[in-house]
Amino acid sequence: MANATVADLQKLAQKATFDAAKIRSDFPILQEKMHGKPLVFLDNAASTQKPNVVIDTIANYYRSENANIHRGVYRLSEIASEKYEAVRETVQQFINADSEREIIFTAGTTDSINLVAASFGQAFIKSGDEIIITGMEHHSNIVPWQLLCDRTGAKLRVLPIDENGDLVMEKLPEMINDRTRLISVVYISNSLGTVNPVHEIIDLAHAHDVPVLVDAAQAVQHQSLDVQQLDCDFLAFSGHKIYGPTGVGVLYGKEKWLEKMPPYRGGGDMILTVSFEKTTFNELPYKFEAGTPNIAGVIGLGEAIKYIENIGLPNIAEYEHTLLDYATEQLTSIPELRIIGTAREKSAVISFVVEGVHPHDIGTWADRDGIAVRTGHHCTQPVMDFFEVPATTRASIGVYNNRADFDALVNSLKEMIKVFC
């Protein structure tokens, strides 16, 4: 390694910190048994488990640091405020935002998208305007735009997908026109695992002065995100997908947009002055954070981010890609099984159907073997309609999963097929 670069040495240092067995031991719930069998948790796209450091941090907050933030002059409130605001800096550095003013704490990805739909929509969308989404969006990136279109008379347009689960990118240039006001796109599909070409979408949109919102709910836990390098205008993610608590999330927005957008909700903390005649609003980011926030959730999110940063997202991505390849190979060895979603680039999600067995029966059977998989439409009913299936079974990968987890799933499926088929 005499000619090793700094990047090479950093990568080696990161590899040295990746210990799959140690990581697994950090999650106490993985020691539990379900129906008398070791828990195999493969529903990470719905919600991830929490490491001890996140659980302990939240418990410690309520045990010894609990107070409302920003307005108290006593020491306990100052401690809570300092811990809360420190996480804003953690998030800003984590996604490389230009400023902490661009980090809005929300209740999650859904709340973040609704914030943009309501506030950006009020400021910039009118009758006849168009918003572009894709055919693989989660309902949370469809319904807020439909509601906005109903209020304003704007039109929602959908970039189609193909039979592999890839976007039909050649259609996008002809869909963008002088009425297009926003493109909102999922980075990684929660039901197909497709990794979308968001760089290409953003470049194309910006060539027409169209801003882009990226739904990163299924990306932030699997790969490094750099909002300045992406040049996205908005980006949303949830705490519970990244080994943090439920009920907390982040909206990143470029300051130039956030400054022009009106408040989303009214209440405490988002104001400077209030009279019965007029209210003046607080500066960023507080303009969008009305009322007492999820203080413990934000502090827990900060610890979750530090936890995965210590492992290293490049290490996580490399490990999970290897596990995804193994899982795909093992599952496709079952003749009766068909994978839904075979995009060129995938991450952490395998959806499948088994000929002659309803996905709900698969989920129930797997549960009896201690295996947690998701069954249903995964809040992507248009995707199910496109592939002409009522539902799928979805196995999704977290940092603590291993080959034995998928061996258990494959063995369970083979036993099930003997009974059902």
| Signed CA dihedral, 402, 405, 410, 413: sign only | negative
Distance CA 410, CA 403 (A): 11
Does residue 319 come out as left (phi exceeding 0), alpha (psi in the -120 to 50 range) or beta?
alpha
Segment 22-33 shows an average pLDDT of 97
pLDDT computed for residue 104 by the predictor: 98
Tokens at residue 204, please?
């194309």
Asked if 413 contacts 334 with a C-beta cutoff of 8 angstroms, the reply is yes
- Of residues 87, 146, 72, the one with CA closest to residue 114: 146
Q: How confident is the model at residue 224 (pLDDT cuts 50, 70, 90)?
A: very high
The pLDDT tens digits for 279-310 are: 999 999 999 999 999 999 999 999 999 999 99
The pLDDT tens digits for 376-415 are: 999 999 999 999 999 999 999 999 999 999 999 999 999 9
Angle, in degrees to the nearest 10, between helices 295-311 and 75-94: 40
Inform me whether the pLDDT recorded for 9 exceeds 70. no
| Signed CA dihedral, 27, 17, 298, 399: sign only | negative
Asked if 120 contacts 152 with a C-beta cutoff of 8 angstroms, the reply is no
Inform me whether the pLDDT recorded for 131 exceeds 60. yes
Inform me whether the pLDDT recorded for 249 exceeds 70. yes
Residue 128's Cβ-count burial label (10 Å; 0-12, 13-18, 19+) is exposed
Asked if 92 contacts 102 with a C-beta cutoff of 8 angstroms, the reply is yes
Distance CA 406, CA 412 (A): 10
Q: Let me know if 379 is a catalytic residue.
A: yes
The residue among 16 and 193 whose pLDDT is bigger is 193
Inform me whether the pLDDT recorded for 419 exceeds 80. yes
Residue 402: how many CA atoms within 13 Å on its side-chain side? 11
pLDDT computed for residue 17 by the predictor: 65
Segment 200-215 shows an average pLDDT of 98
pLDDT computed for residue 3 by the predictor: 46
The residue among 13 and 343 whose pLDDT is bigger is 343
Distance CA 192, CA 335 (A): 20
Inform me whether the pLDDT recorded for 344 exceeds 90. yes
Query: What three-state secondary structure class fits 245?
Result: coil
Q: How confident is the model at residue 23 (pLDDT cuts 50, 70, 90)?
A: very high
Output the DSSP codes for 302-356: HHHHHHHHHH-HHHHHHHHHHHHHHHHHHHTTSTTEEEE---SSB-SEEEEEETT
- Four-point Cα dihedral 107, 108, 112, 114, nearest 10: -80
Inform me whether the pLDDT recorded for 2 exceeds 50. no
Asked if 308 contacts 316 with a C-beta cutoff of 8 angstroms, the reply is yes
Strand partners, 33: 38
Whether the bond into 285 is cis, omega within 30 of 0: yes
Q: Which of 149, 232, 379, 421 is catalytic?
A: 379
